[in-house]
Amino acid sequence: EPEVTQTPSHQVTQMGQEVILRCVPISNHLYFYWYRQILGQKVEFLVSFYNNEISEKSEIFDDQFSVERPDGSNFTLKIRSTKLEDSAMYFCASSEDGGGGLTEAFFGQGTRLTVV
Amino acid sequence: QKEVEQDPGPLSVPEGAIVSLNCTYSNSAFQYFMWYRQYSRKGPELLMYTYSSGNKEDGRFTAQVDKSSKYISLFIRDSQPSDSATYLCAMSALLVGNTPLVFGKGTRLSVIA
């Protein structure tokens, strides 16, 4: 069964360092997303990406964050200068182009980011 | 007022019990309502979705939406230990591909054999 794959599963970084979280979405999917979940809190939307550009982003997704699809398979989230409050589980998701119907978002298993 | 409220539990029930999980919301623009299941150390997995008000049944699972009360429910009949997970409600105003989902906090369910 196709799945969204995220690497690494756990990343520890020092405050102020740059991190790149990697995702391989399902191969025929066209929409890509990043969500995050701070421990004990809700899953929160960060950004959606379609046709090689950001289509929606939340208030959380400020100038410290960027996304990229560097090749035909990977989708990355970069945090330029990490802060303690960036510590969270980051989920990548992807979905097909459903043509207006339900497009189920398939989530990866997450990358736990710990900023120390 | 928070957009989506969900009792985090934890909820512990004996095997075979009927489980009721609920969310309330404040944004009347929400039209699509989803339930995700999340096992420990895994990403959320879509269980069911409904559009607007009404019921939807899938095996042991029934999703209910009452838009007039801004209240959604997930019922699990004949609960099994394998149903032990965190259940997240999620909703959105539209369902085109890039529409963000707004999640509840999740309810942790344990089904005891």
pLDDT in tens, B12-66: 999 999 999 999 999 998 988 999 999 988 899 999 988 878 899 999 999 999 9
Paired tokens of A116: 């120390």
**Residue whose structure tokens are 């906090």:** B105
Give Cα separations from B93 to A93, A94, B27, B62, B101 (angstroms): 19, 19, 9, 21, 9
Across the range B95-101, mean pLDDT stands at 73
Quote the pLDDT of residue A2: 81
Phi, psi of A86 (to 5 degrees): -80, -5
Measured between beta carbons, the chain A residues lying within 8 angstroms of B98 are 31, 48, 50, 55-56
Quote the pLDDT of residue B9: 82
Measured between beta carbons, the chain A residues lying within 8 angstroms of B95 are 98, 100-103
Cα B34 from Cα A108, distance rounded (Å): 18
Paired tokens of A46: 């960060």
Cα B58 from Cα B72, distance rounded (Å): 16
Cα distance between the two ends of chain B: 38
Could you tell me the pLDDT band of residue B97, with boundaries at 50, 70 and 90?
low
Asked if B103 contacts A44 with a C-beta cutoff of 8 angstroms, the reply is: yes
Q: Which residue has the higher pLDDT, A80 or B2?
A: A80
**From the CB of residue B21, how many other CB atoms can be counted at a distance below 10 Å?**
22
Q: Which of A42, A53, A104 to mutate to test the interface with B (most CBs of B within 10 A)?
A: A42
Cα B58 from Cα B40, distance rounded (Å): 23
pLDDT in tens, B59-89: 999 999 999 999 999 999 999 999 999 999 9
Quote the pLDDT of residue A72: 78
Does the beta-carbon distance from A102 to B32 stay under 8 Å?
yes
Cα A36 from Cα B15, distance rounded (Å): 32
Q: Which of B103, B97, B113 is nearest to B43 (CA)?
A: B103
Quote the pLDDT of residue B47: 93
User: For residue B96, what is the DSSP state?
Assistant: S
Q: Which stretches in chain A have pLDDT values below 50?
A: none
